[in-house]
């Protein structure tokens, strides 16, 4: 059907939700917006779906959410009865319609006689992951658009291990989602009846307490925590779910000098104090910096609205605050974990760290210096979760830390997704450690560079919105894949790793198979130790370009990084 036909179907539907009907009326003369809303169904992939709120088959609304939940329900109908009856845990964030979408998902699942455990109010994504494991449900749903702007929302599915649903099961769910193509015919149960039938159970404080008990294991040096009472830091939940747990977690650990950014502790779906609620953006920290300067805080900590990503700013020698990159935060956390475990004689002989292939190689150097294995996986925290499960199944390694450069970290595997609450607690402990040495986190980072070398990384995103955005991205990836150039920015390409074909091609004419699953990613390894990776985003209409360099000093690293960034920008 054409977008005009799809639009007409919605316009003619007499029982259309009244809010969506009003929004559709306002769009009636905007052909460009209508085409984007109705030209194709929402993308539903391994990360679920994420999109702009509003009417249309390419928008987040109760009908597309019901369709996604219906896909999960039909998949669970094929399971053994015992697995189906394990049910689904559902949580949601502070965005527009998040509680509504959570309830609509519950109604669809309940119609299929699938038990649902619904949080009584918003909770962080990592707590949803924990709830799946704690309650032994078969799946979980998180209604969130993470760090996207206010006009977005999303729907993420988690599997039995608490990680995002793995590719094979996700592909099956996607097939069932597509089969439920009549959005207005999806049946939903009555909430009150579901409660009476005990198919819907509310959860909240009970799971909070269980999570709070588990998070005690994140702290490494209990003696150090006794000194941590002197640590002063500012925390902002960026109008989101971190507010629900972070204060209790810090207080439980003994960090009593936590100052909350008042304006950003308001659960505001407009995210009124920031342009985008993303802790990797400098302007996100403006209010935290204001409060930090007043209280002379040692460190500033921010979590995104669903509290799975952590950003931080460190005090410099001149008293100003400098934002840390995701790779820098990971490196500081990793160095502390390994050094503290070595100091307390708790570093395992079979320890392993897991990171994505586009994250810093500084972490590899740190891990190896402590005799710890570094294992690389594809981008997507579900692959880190899969690796953790493999460690547990085989006993091959003990998981010590996992991270992605995009501000996602996991310390303890009682959660199987990135967990900014865990990471915030550990970062406070790291800051307390350096303070006990009369140093700051900034000093700690400099010591790491001095010991291992100066590693610098940058992510360059190119957006391709609109109807033809996907086609443009596919065309560009094909061009990159078939480019026969032997150098980038004057430096020889040593190897090209194509994860779509699972082949690494070397400059000397040899090749080898790549062990990781197939994915639309290219990675170039250069003669000077630089690496460049290119991949389409799984959640946004973007091609992401990553570059990592190494140099003997900071000035050379910055110069090198800038030169490669300029070369990458010239490709578009």
Residue 487, beta-bridge partner list:
492
Residue 544, beta-bridge partner list:
461, 535
Grouping H, G, I as helix, E, B as strand and the rest as coil, residue 437 is coil
Contact 432, 225 (CB under 8 A): yes
**Concatenated DSSP letters for 118-183?**
EESS---HHHHHHHHHHHT-SEEEEE--TTS-TTEEEEEEE-TTSSBPPHHHHHHHHHHHHH---G
Q: Classify residue 40 by its DSSP letter.
A: S
Residue with tokens 């070369």, as numbered in its chain: 567
Going from the C-alpha of 436 to that of each of 228, 248, 333, 341, 345, the distances in angstroms are 8, 24, 16, 17, 20
Residue with tokens 């038990």, as numbered in its chain: 115
Nearest CA to 521 out of 539, 503, 534, 508 is that of 534
For the chain, the straight-line distance linking the first and the last C-alpha, in angstroms and rounded, comes to 33
**Concatenated DSSP letters for 210-241?**
HHHHHGGGG---HHHHHHGGG--EEEE-TTSG
Residue with tokens 């009472």, as numbered in its chain: 229
Residue 377, beta-bridge partner list:
356
128/356 Cα distance (integer angstroms): 22
Nearest CA to 423 out of 218, 130, 134 is that of 218
Neighbours of 418 (CB within 10 A): 25
230/227 Cα distance (integer angstroms): 6
Q: In which element (H, E) is residue 20 found?
A: helix 18-26
* Cα four-point dihedral sign 164, 166, 169, 174: positive
* Cα four-point dihedral sign 443, 445, 448, 453: negative
Grouping H, G, I as helix, E, B as strand and the rest as coil, residue 388 is helix
Residue 482 buriedness (CB in 10 A; 0-12 / 13-18 / 19+): exposed
Residue numbers annotated as active site: 146
157/309 Cα distance (integer angstroms): 18
Contact 303, 421 (CB under 8 A): yes
Strands (E), 423-499: 454-463, 487-488, 491-498
Nearest CA to 545 out of 571, 563, 525, 514 is that of 571
Grouping H, G, I as helix, E, B as strand and the rest as coil, residue 453 is coil
In sequence order, the 6+-apart residues with CB closer than 8 A to the CB of 81 are none
Lay out the sheet containing 49-52: strands in order across.
49-52, 152-158, 139-143, 88-92, 116-119, 200-203
**Concatenated DSSP letters for 530-543?**
-EEEEEE-SSSSEE
């Amino acid at each position: 059907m054409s977008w005009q036909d799809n639009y007409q179907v919605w316009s003619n539907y007499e029982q259309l939700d009244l809010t969506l009907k009003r929004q559709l009326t306002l769009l009636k003369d905007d052909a460009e917006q209508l085409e984007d809303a109705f030209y194709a169904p929402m993308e539903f992939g391994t990360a679920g779906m994420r999109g702009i709120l509003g009417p249309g088959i390419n928008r987040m609304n109760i009908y597309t959410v019901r369709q996604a939940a219906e896909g999960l329900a039909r998949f669970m109908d094929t399971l053994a009865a015992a697995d189906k009856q394990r049910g689904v845990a559902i949580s949601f964030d502070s965005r527009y319609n998040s509680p509504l979408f959570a309830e609509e998902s519950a109604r669809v699942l309940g119609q299929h006689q699938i038990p649902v455990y619904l949080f009584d109010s918003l909770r962080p994504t990592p707590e949803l992951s924990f709830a799946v494991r704690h309650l032994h449900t078969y799946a979980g749903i998180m209604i969130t658009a993470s760090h996207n702007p206010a006009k977005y929302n999303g729907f993420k599915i988690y599997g039995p291990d608490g990680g995002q649903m793995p590719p094979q099961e996700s592909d099956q769910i996607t097939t069932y989602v597509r089969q439920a193509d009549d959005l207005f015919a999806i049946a939903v149960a009555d909430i009150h009846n579901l409660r009476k039938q005990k198919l819907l159970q509310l959860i909240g404080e009970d799971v909070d307490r269980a999570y709070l008990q588990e998070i005690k294991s994140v702290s490494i040096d209990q003696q150090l925590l006794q000194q941590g009472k002197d640590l002063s830091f500012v925390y902002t939940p960026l109008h989101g779910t971190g507010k629900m747990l972070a204060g209790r977690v810090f207080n439980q650990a003994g960090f009593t000098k936590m100052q909350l950014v008042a304006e950003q502790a308001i659960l505001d779906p407009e995210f009124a104090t920031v342009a985008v609620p993303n802790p990797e953006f400098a302007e996100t920290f403006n209010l935290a910096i204001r409060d930090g300067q007043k209280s002379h805080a040692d460190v500033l900590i921010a979590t995104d609205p669903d509290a799975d990503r952590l950003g931080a700013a460190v005090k410099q020698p001149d008293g100003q605050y400098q934002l840390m990159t995701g790779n820098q935060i990971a490196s500081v956390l990793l160095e502390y974990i390994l050094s503290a475990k070595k100091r307390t004689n708790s570093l395992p002989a079979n320890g392993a760290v897991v990171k994505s292939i586009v994250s810093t190689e500084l972490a590899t150097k740190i891990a190896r210096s402590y005799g710890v294995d570094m294992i690389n996986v594809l981008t997507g925290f579900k692959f880190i979760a899969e690796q953790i499960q493999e460690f547990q199944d085989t006993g091959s390694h003990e998981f010590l830390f996992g991270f992605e450069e995009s501000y996602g970290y996991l310390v303890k595997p009682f959660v199987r997704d990135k967990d900014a609450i865990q990471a915030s607690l550990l970062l406070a402990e790291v800051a307390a450690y350096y303070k006990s040495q009369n140093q700051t986190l900034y000093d700690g980072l400099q010591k790491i560079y001095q010991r291992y070398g100066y590693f610098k990384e940058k992510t360059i995103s190119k957006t391709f919105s609109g109807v033809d955005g996907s086609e443009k991205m596919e065309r560009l990836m094909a061009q990159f894949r078939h480019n026969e150039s032997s150098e980038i920015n004057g430096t020889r390409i040593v190897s090209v790793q194509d994860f779509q074909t699972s082949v690494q091609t070397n400059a000397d004419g040899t090749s080898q198979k790549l062990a990781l699953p197939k994915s639309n990613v290219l990675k170039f390894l250069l003669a000077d130790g630089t690496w460049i990776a290119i991949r389409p985003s799984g959640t946004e209409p973007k091609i992401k370009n990553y570059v990592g360099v190494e140099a003997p000093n900071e000035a050379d690293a910055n110069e090198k990084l800038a030169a490669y960034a300029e070369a990458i920008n010239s490709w578009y």
